Amino acid sequence: MALLRRPLLLLLLIVTHQFLQFRIAFGSVNEEGQKQEEFYEELLLKPLPDRKLLTHFHFQSSAPPSTSNGRHHHLFPKAISQLVLKFQVKEMELSFTQGRWNYESWGGFDPIPSSNAKPPGVELWAVFDAPQHLIDALWKNLTHTLSGLFCASINFLESSTAYSAPEWSFPPASGKLRYGTLPREAVCTENLTPWLKLLPCRDKAGISMLLDRPSIYRGFYHSQRLHLTSTGSGSEGMDPGIILEQTLTVVLQPDSQRASLAHASEKHIQPSWSLSSIFGKQISGRCVLAETSNVYFLLDMGLVAELEHIHKENEKSEEYVLISEKFWNNPSFELSAKPDRIFIEESSLLSKNASVLYKFEIEKYGESEPFDLGLFWKTPVVWLCQQAPLHANRFLMGSGNERGAIAISLKSTQSSEGFMGSNSNDERCELRVDVFQVVPWYVKVYFHSLQVFVDQQPKAVSDIIEKIHVSPSKDKVSPGVMELVLTLPCSVSSAVLTIEFDKGFLHIDEYPPDANQGFDIPSAIVSFPDFHARMVFLENDSLNKSPLLSKFQEKSPVMSYTEVLLVPLTTPDFSMPYNVITITCTVFALYFGSLLNALRRRVAEEERFLKDKAAKKMDRIPLLLSKLSAKLRGRHLEGPQAPPASSSFINSKSVLKVILIAGLAVYWQYYFS
């Protein structure tokens, strides 16, 4: 009986422990009436026009203000909470990006590129809730903490030459903002693993199971982002509330073998795909600690308009609605799973068409029936993504290692007319563009050389630039910062800004190991404050529990990043010190070796030693014969003769050698001095 009671007791303890754990995790209100921590996981899938697929993972953890929990959390990562409290961070964003977002093919106006398209390398900005004189010290400590937390070289941003303080052009700009980038920072799994450890289920359950390393890093674009916001002041003994948003945006190329076999003659056929073919895994259920776990499939308005046009041409009927009862099995494409909800974007002034969003709830699936969404295209489809008003590019001009110029080119995407409506042809209609650019101190920019060309015609700077803020660089102290507000006519076709610079010289200790590759100028930020990327869907009551869709409804300014410039600087011959050290050591070795050899040699002793050695080698018979002949002659046997009196400690040859080597050494020293 005792043996039977032990398993029952252990089982009872395990069930009780799990029950208490789930009660703590899922409890929405505690005994004091305070809201508990929450966690959401979501995934957005969106086909792109250039036969690629956009996958956007969105995880959100929230810790409300609390007086009872203190520094202890059930779901929220403790490391982030300690970071916010210790360094008084009000808002912060950190991104690791590999590749560059293709604004022409993948769009630049919807919320994903405006908020999640980041420059290559590492970008970090933070707003502090502290006195002004403490911000620089808090920034340096924050960079070291993040460097250890994410296993990266973020601590290089501690130097005053690596970060800046934007005044007003950067979107969350304020007097307490610090901004820094590392364009050459490599992104690898060592950065992704600490990022996943901040999730309650990591990559063991839920949507995060799809985060297969080889699948992610073979994509064309990969950006992992961490954004946190402090929602409380933390006064009166209350810890501030924190909202942590983790996003991973990946652009992948699906396997197009099935599409090529089915439509070998079609050039514009989109590749068919499934979650298992892209990531090599399926979703076998949601994370048990998540409030909601959803997967969304988005068809943007350009694709919806093209599908409707194709159907009208084939069926010769105008009564076609994409979201009919059998929308997942229509003449254009087929979905492998039936959606749970359908959302239609509210009509806007930009287009008569609206985006369509399909929602799949993961809580219905499990290990016995995993979720594996698949899309199979039946007909070729060609469409364009929504573009920003102007497409920004940046490049270098000039040649040589002394001077050059930076040019920022803005070209119209023919979208400003739709944004401005009928006022686009009005002479008073203006398009506002903000430009923020940071230049390292060794690129000495002449801000007075700024020139503006509108539609290939030179314009006065005062006519185009409404507002400007310039912070010149200081050698080895701080970078140069330029903030501009441009007012262009709505009918503008192109605009170019040029500014000249000189290339500085660095100390040999300031060159990186790969100095011959060149030096990076961080990406410039071009934003359009009059335009906001926003997607508002109907049935808003059901979106209250979806942080991703709630984020889409927020008005975020349209923003784009330019290319990273590679500036070649004058670099010394790094092999020259090695050559000098080698030849100097060789000369000194020859000099001291010959000198010591001449000084330590004793010529008389060497001759006596040789004679003694030769005498010992003589046989006994010749020695006896020589003694016998000496007795017969009546003479004594002569022994080894003593050295001549004229021989000295050092013979004349040795003296000449010493004098010659000493003369060479004096001449060498005089010549190189």
List strands edge to edge, sheet with 480-489.
465-471, 480-489, 430-439, 525-533, 556-561
Is the domain of 315 the same as that of 394? no
Last residue of a domain, one of 522, 542, 567: 567
Tell me which residue has tokens 């060498």.
Answer: 668
Is the domain of 302 the same as that of 370? yes
Is the domain of 330 the same as that of 436? no
Q: At what angle do helices 135-150 and 189-197 cross, to 10 degrees?
A: 100
d(CA 653, CA 598): 9
User: In this structure, are strands 242-252 and 53-63 parallel, antiparallel, or unpaired?
Assistant: antiparallel
Number of domains in the chain: 2
Predicted TM-score (pTM) of the model is: 0.81
Is the domain of 322 the same as that of 471? no
Dump strand ranges (E) for 10-85: 38-47, 53-63
Is the domain of 340 the same as that of 437? no
- Tell me the per-residue pLDDT of 578-621, one tens digit each, with 9 for 90 and over: 888 899 999 999 988 888 888 877 767 777 777 777 766 655 55
Which residue stretches of the chain have pLDDT < 50? Answer: 1-4, 19-20, 22-33, 257-265, 317-321, 323, 325-326, 349-350, 421-422, 640, 642-643, 645-650
Task: Give domain status of residue 383, yes or no.
Answer: no
Is the domain of 349 the same as that of 454? no
Is the domain of 168 the same as that of 192? yes
Residue 76 domain boundaries: 48-377
> Residue 268: what pLDDT?
63
Tell me which residue has tokens 């048990």.
Answer: 288
d(CA 405, CA 649): 75
> Residue 44: what pLDDT?
97
Last residue of a domain, one of 503, 535, 567: 567
Is the domain of 371 the same as that of 405? no
> Residue 295: what pLDDT?
96
Q: What is the CATH number of the domain that holds 462?
A: 2.60.40.740
> Residue 423 is which amino acid?
N
d(CA 159, CA 147): 14
Task: Give domain status of residue 670, yes or no.
Answer: no
Task: Give domain status of residue 24, yes or no.
Answer: no
Task: Give domain status of residue 642, yes or no.
Answer: no
d(CA 502, CA 1): 90
Q: What six digits make up the tokens of 149?
A: 């937390």
Task: Give domain status of residue 58, yes or no.
Answer: yes
Task: Give domain status of residue 609, yes or no.
Answer: no
Task: Give domain status of residue 438, yes or no.
Answer: yes
Q: Within 10 A of 14 (CB to CB), how many other CB atoms are there? A: 10
> Residue 225: what pLDDT?
96
Is the domain of 329 the same as that of 399? no
Is the domain of 135 the same as that of 111? yes
Residue 21 CA, distance from chain mean position: 37
d(CA 508, CA 572): 8
User: In this structure, are strands 53-63 and 38-47 parallel, antiparallel, or unpaired?
Assistant: antiparallel
d(CA 503, CA 144): 30
Tell me which residue has tokens 């996003």.
Answer: 247
Task: Give domain status of residue 467, yes or no.
Answer: yes
Is the domain of 97 the same as that of 205? yes
Is the domain of 179 the same as that of 125? yes
Last residue of a domain, one of 567, 584, 601: 567
Residues whose CB is less than 8 angstroms from the CB of residue 450 and which lie 6 or more positions away in sequence, other chains included = 461, 465, 497, 498, 499
Residue 175 CA, distance from chain mean position: 26
